[in-house]
Structure 1
Amino acid sequence: MKNDVLKINYNKEIDAVVLEWITAPISSEFREGLNQGLELLKSTKAKNWIGDVRNLGAIDPDDQKWSNEEWFPKALSTGIKKMGVIISDDIFNQMSVEEIMSKVENAGFVSQYFDDINKASQWMKA
C-alpha cells in the first residue's frame, strides 16, 4: 500500500511489516497509517516491525498518547517480537518517538534505533 503520506509493505525475508513515512501526516493520517500497518501485521502474522520515521516530523502529544494507549496494546497482542525504528535527524521527531517508545520499553518486545533501513533489516535476521 502506498499513498502520498506513507508506504506499507510486508517483507517476507525478515517477517516484518515495514512502514515508511514519506511526509509528515496530519493526525488522522498518522492514526490511519498505523492502523493499516497493524492490519497487515495481523493478516501476515509478522513478528517484526520496521518504522521509518525519518520524514514523520514531530508527533502531536494527543497522537503520542493514542499510540501508547490504543495502538501499542493492539500491536503487542499480535505477538510482535522486534521493532526497529529508523530515526530522523530532526530533534523534535527524535523526542516524539523516544517519548512513545519509552512507555513501552518493557512490554515484551525488543526495540532498537537505526539510521538506515538495511541495518534494521540485518538486525531482524539475527
Structure 2
Amino acid sequence: MPTQTAVDAEKYTIEIDEDIDAILFTWDEFAAGQEFRDGCNELLEVIRRNDKSKALIDTSGIRAHDDEDKRWLQEEWIPREIEAGIEYSVSVHSDSVISEMEMEEFVDQTQDLPFTYVMAGDRQEAREWLDEQ
C-alpha cells in the first residue's frame, strides 16, 4: 500500500505508511524557531490521530538545527512524542559530517528515555529498521 499524505506543508511533509505502520515526517526545507516547532507539533497531532508507535524523521534535506531548537526538542518535544505513543523513532540525517555528529549527540542524549531512537544513513535503511520493530 502506498503512503498516504496527511500534511503537505511548504517546508515539510507528513505521511502515513501502513506497510510499516509508521508516520513519516520529511523536512523539505530548513526551519527554525516557531516555524520549526509548529512543524514538530503538527507531527504530534498526526501521531495522535493515527495511533502509531513508530516514526521516521527525514532531515536529510537540511544541514543542522540551531541550539535553541535542539534544546527544545530534547527538553519539551521528545517527552511529548513519547506521551503521544511513539515507541520507536529513526532519523535520517544528511551527508554532512556536522549533521551526523549532531544526530549522534542527540541519540546519545535519548538513551535513558523509554523509547528507542536510532539514526540511519538513508530512508530505505530507516524503513527497514522500523519494519523490524
Tell me, yes or no, whether TM beats 0.5: yes
> Hey, what does 1:52 align to over in structure 2?
58
**One-letter identity of the residue aligned with 1:48:** K
Conservation of the 8 A alpha-carbon contact between 2:104 and 2:119: no
- The structure 2 residue matched to 1:9, chosen from 12, 15, 21, is 15
1:1-126 aligned within 5 A:
1-126=7-132
Conservation of the 8 A alpha-carbon contact between 1:58 and 1:96: yes
Q: Gaps (5+ residues) in structure 1?
A: none
**One-letter identity of the residue aligned with 2:76:** E
**Alignment partners' CA distance in 2, 1:111 and 1:38:** 16
- RMSD across aligned C-alpha pairs, in angstroms? 1.5
Q: Secondary structure at the match of 1:84?
A: strand
**One-letter identity of the residue aligned with 2:124:** N
**Alignment partners' CA distance in 2, 1:95 and 1:115:** 12
**Alignment partners' CA distance in 1, 2:120 and 2:21:** 18
**CA gap 1:100/1:112 in 2 versus in 1, 3 angstroms:** closer
Q: Gaps (5+ residues) in structure 2?
A: 1-6
> Hey, what does 2:3 align to over in structure 1?
none
Shift of 1:40: 0.6
